[in-house]
Amino acid sequence: MNRQKSISKRILKYVITSFMALSLVLLAACGGGSSSSSGSSKGKDTIYLGMVNPPSGFNPINTSDIAGQFAIRVMLDSFLDMTSPLKFQPKLATSIDTTDNQTYTIHLNPKAKWTDGKPVTADDVIFTFNLIANPKSTVAVGSNISTLEGLDANGKLTGGKTSIPDLKKIDEHTVSFKTKTPVDPNYIKEMIGTKIITMPQHVLKDIAPADFANSKYAQAPNVTNGPYKFVTYNKNTYIQYKANNSYYLGKPKTPKFFIKIMQAPNLLSELQAGTIQANASGGIGNLPFQDVDTAKKLKNVTTEIHPQIGFQTMEYNTKTLPNPKIRQAIAYAIDRPQIVDKLLKGNGEIIDGPYTSQSPYLDKSTNVIKYDPKKAKQMLKDAGWDFNKTLNFVVPIGNKVREQSADIIVQNFKAIGVKVKETTYDFPTIMQKGAAGDFDLLLIGFTFNIDPDVSALYGPNGAYNFMKYENPKATKLIADGKSQPDSAKRKAIYSQLQSIWEKDMPVLTLYSDNEVVVKSKDLAYGGASSYWPGTVADFQKWAYKK
């Protein structure tokens, strides 16, 4: 590091300039189009978006990471989009209606087509729902449909059934389904409307459910219905798309779209050079806060900061750390105020539980975990902690603030005499290690929903429950919360859950960092939305100024 600091400013400037030029040459060789470092929009036919996390995959029903889900949404549409909290915009469906909060009707857009020219129909929707519900299918979205009649808490069929009861085709563009009990319509619109991705029955009908996860389609969807078509994925480098000129919501205004994958510190230099036109934000492409002031001074971009519903956590492996008192003690040892003040430059908040200040379901009375290393050490002693034990601390790379927060946490552990071994991996490997339980402590971030259901994290079979956490009382309350149509009663249920999670401490929520949204002034439309989920709403409109 000292040697690097000794390099003259003149040489450093030459190195940076040469690196940027080389990056442009390499990108052009990869089919990157006509982007130039000047930032001029003349002749440009490609938009580049910077993202820090590589996708774990492109399986529409079994991709649990945000980066992968985002990459899928470029080429496959949901029924609805949520452009601001609980404000829904039609997409593949013109509407999802109900008269009794129990029987719901999906009205498909009759203009919607697959990229092979065939129409998107009710048969495709029914096929997709039944594939998700099939016990032999490996999915990450099972909990999203678990309120439907005939399905268990994991969204799976029971008793040997092969299809969801009361899932009916009304006509070619209309489907109805029934929930076990009345359900909040906003829950259905968000959890099903914005999260379930319909797939083409005519392409996939002959693939056995048990084999779908390993099918060619699940690796690289080739018949899609979104604004762009998948072209190729150069692992950990870029995802390339081309316009779906027959897109039912209008021909995309920009012929080519790239997601470039890079380390977070590189976002600023690429924005400045014009080699990307925006950062992905949403926890998968946030600009490091130490670069915000510099970004605000750049003449070729605009920079905005917004609060968000996403948050960062430290998951405990409850199999290797079964004592809640131990987990609570570790929580008291972590200097979260330092993380927010030093790393986020104050651009964020400390949260206890899975709800940020943006959530109407946050119970502020549970906000009680304070930084107290003396108390942490005493609690560990009282709980019989073996101070010779070394904790396996697993950290994903890509999000610079999260990586730096890990350094602070390691120092916090050392301060109370807890031994820890930190290891870092790319995000796909993190997901594998999490699922395998190959950790004691695991850093990972989430952006869930405005709806308070977080069964994907705290449910016994949740896609992100790497903690292997299960509390029967909490499990029942999670089910009650899902099935309660009255919002006031739901709030009371989730307050109870926050109290239980505080005591059990399967996850320590660390902080919610604000979104940093940076966009090129060359763009007439595009870039991350101030409300992150709304970013995917209108990819076909992303375009340069004329």
Question: Is residue 15 pLDDT above 70, yes or no?
Answer: no
Three-state DSSP state, 380: helix
Beta-carbon contacts of residue 389 (< 8 Å; ≥ 6 apart): 419
> φ and ψ at 76, to 5 degrees?
-135, 135
- Given this model, what pLDDT does residue 282 score? 86
Quick check: helix, strand or coil at residue 99? coil
HEC letters along 471-524: CHHHHHHHHHHHHCCCHHHHHHHHHHHHHHHHHHCCEEEEEEECEEEEEECCEE
Q: Where are the beta strands (DSSP E) in 291-410?
A: 301-306, 311-316, 348-349, 390-396
Q: Provide, rounded to the nearest whole percent, the portion of the chain with pLDDT above 90.
A: 79
Please tell me the CATH code under which domain 76-216 is placed: 3.90.76.10
- Cα 251 to chain centroid distance, Å, stands at 27
- Asked if 309 and 450 touch (Cβ cutoff 8 Å), the reply is yes
Q: Tell me the domain boundaries of the chain.
A: 2-71+226-307+515-544, 76-216, 311-513
Q: Which long-range contacts (CB under 8 A, 24 or more apart) does 428-431 make?
A: 428/54, 428/55, 428/56, 428/57, 428/65, 430/394, 430/396, 431/56, 431/64, 431/65
Beta-sheet strands, E only, within 255-310: 256-261, 278-279, 301-306
Residues 2-71+226-307+515-544, CATH architecture: 3-Layer(aba) Sandwich (3.40)
Burial of 161 (0-12, 13-18, 19+ CB in 10 A): middle
What's the rounded mean pLDDT across residues 232-256?
97
CA distance 341 to 347: 8
Contact 148, 167 (CB under 8 A): yes
Phi/psi-derived region of residue 274, left when phi > 0, alpha when psi is between -120 and 50, beta in every other case: left
pLDDT at res. 13: 39
What single-letter DSSP state applies at residue 347? -
Tokens of 333: 């040892």
Q: Which residue has the higher pLDDT, 368 or 504?
A: 504
Instruction: Supply the pLDDT for residue 2.
Output: 42
State residue 18's pLDDT score. 39
- Phi first, then psi, for residue 535 (nearest 5°) are -60, -35
Q: Report DSSP letters for 202-261, one per residue.
A: HHHTTS-GGGGGGSHHHHS--S--SSEEEEEEETTTEEEEEE-TT-TT---SSSEEEEEE
Residue 470 has pLDDT above 50, yes or no: yes
Structure tokens, 258? 């790239």
pLDDT at res. 61:
97
* Residue 179: closest CA among 154, 145, 153, 156: 145
Average pLDDT estimate for 392-398: 94
pLDDT tens-digit map of 194-213: 999 999 999 999 999 999 99
* pLDDT for the residue numbered 43: 55
- Please report the pLDDT score of residue 289 as a whole number: 87
**Dist CA 70 CA 66 (whole Å):** 6
Is the pTM higher than 0.85? no
Greatest mean pLDDT among 171-185, 358-372, 473-487 lies in: 171-185
Reading phi first (left if > 0) and then psi (alpha if -120 to 50, else beta), residue 514 is in: beta
Antiparallel, parallel or unpaired: β 87-90 and 390-396: unpaired
Each residue of 488-517: pLDDT tens digit?
Answer: 899 999 999 999 999 999 999 999 989 999
pLDDT at 85: 84
- For residues 335 and 7, which has the higher predicted lDDT (pLDDT)? 335
Which residue in 35, 39, 532, 66 sits closest to 302, CA to CA? 39
How remote is the C-alpha of 236 from its chain's centroid? 17
Q: Name the average pLDDT for the chain.
A: 90
From CA 521, how far away is CA 274, in angstroms rounded?
10
DSSP state of 531: S
Alpha helices in 77-161, H assignment, sequence order: 122-133
Has domain 311-513 been given CATH number 3.40.50.300?
no
pLDDT digits (tens, 9 = 90+) for 72-129: 999 999 999 999 888 999 999 999 999 999 999 999 999 999 999 999 999 999 999 9
Average pLDDT over residues 451-467: 92
* Assigned token pair, 191: 């959890």
Q: What is the pLDDT of residues 32-74, one digit of tens each?
A: 333 333 344 445 899 999 999 999 999 999 998 999 999 999 9
User: Using CA atoms, how far apart are residues 283 and 313, in angstroms rounded to an integer?
Assistant: 12
For 137, 150, 377, the CA distances from 145, given in Å and listed in that order, are 14, 10, 44
- Predicted confidence at residue 9, as pLDDT, reads 38
pLDDT bin (cut points 50, 70, 90) of residue 432 is very high
What integer pLDDT is reported at residue 38 of this predicted model? 36
What is the spatial distance between Cα 370 and Cα 367, in angstroms, rounded to a whole number? 9
Dihedrals phi, psi of 481, to nearest 5 degrees? -65, -40
Q: What is the pLDDT of residues 284-331, one digit of tens each?
A: 998 888 899 999 999 999 999 988 888 999 999 999 999 999 999 999
CB-neighbour burial class of residue 226 (10 A; exposed 0-12, middle 13-18, buried 19+):
buried
